Amino acid sequence: MAVTIRLRRDGTKNSPYYRIVVADKHSPRDGKFLELIGTYDPKKKGDNSAVKLARADHWIKNGALPSDTVRSILKKARAKAGKEVPVTA
C-alpha cells in the first residue's frame, strides 16, 4: 500500500481549514485516512499549523511520502522546534 501524508480539507465555503493526515495514495482527498497528525489554517496569521513531528517522522521513516505543501509545513514546524530536518529520498 502506497502511503502519503497530505492535507484533508475541512471548514466551510471561503473559510478553508485543513487537517494533515496519513492516507492511502488511492483514497479520495476527504476520504478514509490512517492517522490524523496535525492541522493547518491558511487564513490565520503567524503560527498557523500544529503537527505531531514524532508521528510524521515515524511515517516518513516507514515510507510515507509527504505532499509538497505538507513538506513545507513540516520544514517550518521543525525550524520552530529547533530540530534538524531528516534526509528523505
> Could you read off the pLDDT of 7-66 as tens digits, one per residue?
999 999 999 999 999 999 999 888 899 999 999 999 998 889 999 999 999 999 999 999
Q: What is the pTM of this model?
A: 0.86
Q: Residue 59: its pLDDT value, please?
A: 95
Question: In terms of Cα–Cα distance, which of 71, 42, 68, 41 is closest to 56?
Answer: 71
Q: Given this model, what pLDDT does residue 26 score?
A: 92
Rounded to whole angstroms, how far apart are CA atoms 56 and 66?
9
For residue 74, count CB atoms less than 10 angstroms from its CB and return exposed for 0-12, middle for 13-18, buried for 19 or more.
Answer: buried
What is the model's pLDDT at position 88?
58
Q: Which residue has the cell 488511492?
A: 26
Pairing of strands 65-66, 35-40: unpaired
pLDDT level of residue 87 (50, 70, 90 thresholds): low
pLDDT (0 to 100) of residue 86: 60
Do 76 and 82 touch, CB atoms closer than 8 A? no
Strand partners, 76: none
Name the residue with cell 496535525: 38
